[in-house]
Structure 1
Amino acid sequence: MMVAGAKALELKKHDVDALNVFPVPDGDTGTNMFLTIQSAARDSEKVTSQAISDVAAAASMGSLMGARGNSGVILSQLLRGIAKGFEGLLTANPLQVAQALQAGVDTAYKAVMKPVEGTILTVSKETAKAALTKAKGGGSLLETLQDAHNKGMECLAKTPDMLPVLKQAGVVDAGGQGFLIILGGWIAVLKGETVTPDSRYEVGQKTAPSSQDTHDIQREFMRIEDLDYPYCTEFLIKGTDLRVERIRQDLKDRGDSLLVVGTPEVIKIHVHVKNPGKILEYAIQWGSLHQVQIHNMLEQNENMAHAMKTEPTELTEAVFEETSTFSETQPMKEFGLVAVVMGQGIADVYKSLGVDEVVYGGQTMNPSTEDLAEAVRKISARHVFILPNNGNIIMAARQVGDIIQDRGVSVISSKSISQGISALLSFNAEGEAEANVKNMERALGNVVSGEVTYAVRDSQFGTINISSGDILGLVEDAIVSSGQSLLEVAQATLEKMDWKTHDLVTIFYGEETKQDEVERLGNWLKEENPNVEVEVHPGRQPLYYYIFGVE
């Protein structure tokens, strides 16, 4: 069921992406949910046990690590609750399945600070309610899930009536649609149907480099001479009263890249060590070991080095550039900074402001919880601040604290590149963690954020009629201008930001923006108000012609 759900969404992910409320090129709900459920399916396929509790626990863990975007995080919380509902069960009858679905809904609602009806939350709630009603009435598992799916579809059709923004855009909720597609994959399996494509999600059976492949290589590849801990060791411990924090403390000095996450019944461990046997000998004291995988990274690196010499590619060159200093010894410092950025030019500015690790992402490709956790682990600091710089990444960032508990992790709720910069300027390396959080959060309100991009479909936003291909101006994620001229839309957007009454305008221009366009905009700003300072940087960001900050 897990694999079929992932395959079903893989086939329809672009349709779900197209349900974006705004006609801008960042509709990625389907992609985010697919990558999340794909990670869950990959982990569930590794389970050799026949117990539904073990499969559900693995799927929950996989979805936690692979969660991307708000929709992916909510999906991971649904799977987390479902796993709780299946705890201790070898098999599950229709009522237990329905109860697990309800446990998923309860967990997801608790995870969202301000639940909004008319979203995936509402759709999943109605499906669980219908499942419980059918199961209590004696329905089979297939009948129970079919009733749940039918009720979910009815609810999905009503989401535009619950959220005005959906009605205005003429779409149903994308997250709810994605959830029902996954549920449809589960039903297909129970009916004996095959969901294509036929590729499995088992690690090692992928045929072409994907974003996940790139991440795996970036995570594991180091220079051969720097491998002090050459064995990548991963496994699960299953037992009772497992103590995550105690195990983490016991293992923290036995290797590096340590990950210890889980529940009192099942814990996942990932660590790089010199002697895997000693780690396994320690772990077996706590319970039974499962899904043990040991990889010799020295051998992997030799193969990678050979491949790089014989068949150099953009991928391997990029990997070497990213990881060539990965394992250099660094002294422990008090604070570290991680930021999500799009564009090398923006990354350069962030690094000049003291950011230790940048994670490339943002619109169209939100980094996963694991991507962010990996960046945190690379920093030798007692407390790390994460700047998501996108409203759709904040929830995934907040889950990093569930994964990494050997240091403090604070998420600053920055929703734009400009807000992130404002927060960085308020950071005090000599201050206290709590004070830094307050000051950086407060600084987010000191800047007005704007963007200029293009429309991917015909639409209407308020009184603005939009045609596919139009240039769009946004202020704080709201569309404020539309037209055919890049300069005119940029000017209109800045006027909506009331730039003339501020002290500083910061401009990042994109990889598709021509230099003469940038100069024309800069000259206009100087002519209109020479007293306002203007900073212009080559952001090199994709999709967005300009990113503005006014403060």
Structure 2
Amino acid sequence: MRPAATKMASVLDGQLWKQMMVSGAKALELKKHDVDALNVFPVPDGDTGTNMFLTIQSAARDAEKISSQSIGEVAAAASMGSLMGARGNSGVILSQLLRGIAKGLEGLQTANSLQVAQALQAGVDTAYKAVMKPVEGTILTVSKETARAALAAAKSGGSLLETLQEAQEKGFKSLAKTPDMLPVLKQAGVVDAGGQGFLVILGGWISALTGETLTSDTISDGESSPEQHIHKSVELKQEEFLQVESLDYPYCTEFLVKGTDLRVEQMKQDLLDRGDCLLVVGTPEVVKIHVHVKNPGKILDYAIQWGSLHEVQIHNMLEQNENMAHAMKEKTSENPSQPLKEFGVVAVAMGQGIADVFISLGADEVVFGGQTMNPSTEDLAAAVRKVPAKQVFILPNNGNIVMAARQVKDVVSERQVHVIPSKSIPQGISALLSFNSEGDAEGNIQTMERGLSGVCSGEVTYAVRDSQYGDLTISDGDLLGLVEDVIVTTGKSLHEVAQSTLDKMEWKTHDLVTIFYGEDTKLEEVERLQDWLREENPSVEVEVHPGRQPLYYYIFGVE
């Protein structure tokens, strides 16, 4: 049991809730990479912590804009901010928790410990209702047990601080049990990432109440956190955190290092604290580094100690964002009186080549995103608003984006929004090919959703850690083949893993194989795979497109 809390604020008002939201966001900013590392698959798309951080950060920023001291009004603003900023399934569930909390605090000027506990319970109820098939052993379970403990503590006369501390303690116990509820967590040797992220935020709320300086070391991880942590000591500076609208690491820096005895893991650890979105992969002879930094020169100076530098690319993302914003402004200013057509389509794509395909097939707007870069509800809503149509279909094309897409209906009132739950790029393309601009909405929904079931999706990527998945023993850096998001094969040769993945998809019994090759896939590898397909079964049509997607060497569609 933790020591009794010092009696501090007896009630929660709007000002204190703002501080708690900021503190919760800062706590997760410090721990987001630890939460990302809890991904059950060893593939390079662990982004739960990042998605939840961007969601809570958006909530905190909107809360800060409210001058009222009313807890109800500030909570409502935070809820709307989280709704607009929600990214990924974990971010959407977090936004629903905050939405329910706001409902529980609606109309209140201040809230005592019991009212706060009841609001937490309202948040859990709202989150469960928002998920079509709630799964225990996830953030839902952890938040449910947390709310129950909060209610019990508050009803026993606990102060606001004591109530949240008891809730967190119970939450960590619940988190530790998540591997027993979900076999996939036990097999991967991790606890639920969403649950961990929620408890990190709760820890930030507690720090705001105690006035404790927020650092990586002072944020409680419970007994079930990863053994290795990123240790930083960053004091919470509320104004600086919320008012900076520019990117902290504006230069996207990417290059190859060639040498002998290159130590990938050591390079990764050395660069861990020097930027964001770090990717270090390769062999003892060639290592690829991708990182967002403040000063690219320092990264290059470090890397050149290991060997020679090749294919150095540095992009100013601030300039790219400004250019994109300017282009969007010009686009929306064109033909302002353009009449609305009946239907339009918004698609999500994870590479320029894939985006080009969607545009060629009739999509009106493409939102860039996918693995590791889930677009927010606000991003999708902005795209919907740009489509000159009365009704807009959204193709999320990723299972982790579907929930955020469904929330667009809650924030866009000037368009009728329909979400076709495509969970892969091939599914999205199949659905779009089924779209009939001359048909009606219900008919299109039915035919597009039928189109999803007519295609099998596969991918080839790489492992980011050692792991055991079913009967497969996976080593860091191994190539992985996935079919419908399930790892089915692994190996060292890209060609062999691609062949094995396609065989698992039973491609020879179908009519068409579509291949999108990634930005890191060599053309000779693509041609070699094409030749093999034609030799094995020349009757199957093969389409090849430069998808230019990151992280995934191939995306396959078989139908």
TM-score by length of structure 2 reads 0.79
Aligned to 1:23: 42
* Paired letter, 1:137: S
Q: By how many angstroms is 1:483 displaced?
A: 0.6
Q: Conserved in 2, the CA contact under 8 Å of 1:33 and 1:75?
A: yes
Over residues 192-232 of structure 1, what are the superposed CA-to-partner deviations in whole Å (9 max), with x where a residue is unaligned? 212245343679821642699x9xxxxxxxxxxxxxxxxxx
Match of residue 98 from structure 1: 117
2:23, 2:236 within 8 Å by CA — same for their partners in 1? no
**Do residues 476 (structure 1) and 484 (structure 2) align?**
yes
Match status 1:357 vs 2:371 = no
Hey, what does 1:142 align to over in structure 2?
161
The letter for the 1-side match of 2:247 is P
Distance 1:88 1:211 in 2: 40
Q: Could you tell me how far apart the structure 2 residues matched to 1:44 and 1:202 are?
A: 15
What is the deviation of 1:136? 0.4
- 1:535 aligned partner: 543
Q: Which 5+ residue runs of structure 1 have no aligned equivalent?
A: 215-310
Equivalent-residue separation in structure 2 for 1:48 and 1:416 (angstroms): 43
1:385 aligned to which of 379, 393, 402: 393
Q: How does 1:194-213 map to 2 (within 5 A)?
A: 194-195=213-214, 196-200=234-238, 205-206=243-244, 208-209=246-247
Distance 1:313 1:397 in 2: 28
Code of the aligned partner of 2:524: D
Whole-angstrom CA distance in 1 between matches of 2:171 and 2:241: 32
What are the equivalent positions in structure 2 for 1:128-207 lying under 5 Å apart?
128-195=147-214, 196-200=234-238, 205-206=243-244
Shift of 1:91: 1.0
Which residue among 365, 372, 393 is the counterpart of 2:380?
A: 372
Distance change (3 Å), C-alpha of 1:327 and 1:207: closer
Q: Distance in 2 between matches of 1:197 and 1:529?
A: 62
Alignment partners' CA distance in 2, 1:375 and 1:23: 32
Q: Aligned to 1:328, which of 304, 324, 334?
A: 334
| Distance across 2 between alignment mates of 1:533 and 1:201 | 58
Q: Please list, as runs of the form range in 1=range in 2, the aligned pairs for 1:106-121 lying within 5 A after superposition.
A: 106-121=125-140
Q: Please tell me whether the aligned partners of residues 393 and 420 of structure 2 are also in contact (alpha carbons under 8 angstroms).
A: yes
Structure 2 distance, partners of 1:483, 1:201, is 49
Alignment of 1:359-438 (within 5 A): 359-438=367-446
1:102 aligned partner, one-letter code: Q
2:302 alignment partner in structure 1: none
Letter of the 2:42 partner, please give it.
P
- Cα distance in 1 for partners of 2:406, 2:245 equals 33
What is the match of residue 92 of structure 2? 73
Counterpart secondary structure, 2:177: helix
Taking only aligned residues, the RMSD between alpha carbons, in angstroms, comes to: 1.9
Judge conservation of contact 2:52–2:87 (CA < 8 Å) in 1. yes
Task: Please give the alpha-carbon distance, in whole angstroms, between the structure 1 residues aligned to 2:410 and 2:347.
Answer: 19
| Contact 1:46–1:202 (8 Å) recurs in 2 | no
CA contact (8 A) 2:213 2:235 kept: no
Contact 1:45–1:201 (Cα < 8 Å) also in 2? no
Question: Separation in 2 of the partners of 1:535 and 1:201?
Answer: 52
Correspondence for 1:40: 59
Contact 1:38 1:201 in 2 (8 A): no
SS in 2 for 1:7: helix
Kept after mapping to 2: 8 A contact 1:41/1:201: no
Q: Distance in 2 between matches of 1:469 and 1:25?
A: 10
- The one-letter code matched in structure 1 to 2:68 is S
Paired with 2:318 and 2:43, the residues of 1 have a C-alpha distance of 36
Partner Cα separation in structure 2 for residue 211 and residue 60 of structure 1:
28
Structure 2 counterparts to residues 506-521 of structure 1, below 5 A: 506-521=514-529
Answer whether contact 1:401 1:409 (CA < 8 A) is retained.
yes
CA distance in 2, matches of 1:497, 1:197: 51
Does the 8 A contact of 2:150 with 2:164 survive in 1? Answer: yes
Alpha-carbon contact 2:385-2:415 (below 8 Å) kept: no
Cα pair distance change 1:25/1:201, threshold 3 Å: farther
Alignment of 1:310-321 (within 5 A): 313-321=319-327
Identity of matched residues, % = 76
* CA distance in structure 2 between the partners assigned to 1:200 and 1:322 by the alignment: 31
SS in 1 for 2:498: helix
Structure 2 residue ranges without an equivalent (≥5):
1-19, 215-233, 253-316
- Structure-1 separation of matches of 2:210 and 2:427: 50
Instruction: Output the amino acid matched with 2:334.
Output: E
Query: Mean Cα displacement is larger for which, 526-535 or 192-201?
Result: 192-201
- The count of corresponding residues between Structure 1 and Structure 2 is 455
Write the deviation string for residues 264-290 of structure 1: whole angstroms up to 9, x where unpaired.
xxxxxxxxxxxxxxxxxxxxxxxxxxx
Q: Amino acid of the residue matched to residue 174 of structure 2? A: C
TM-score normalized by the length of structure 1: 0.80
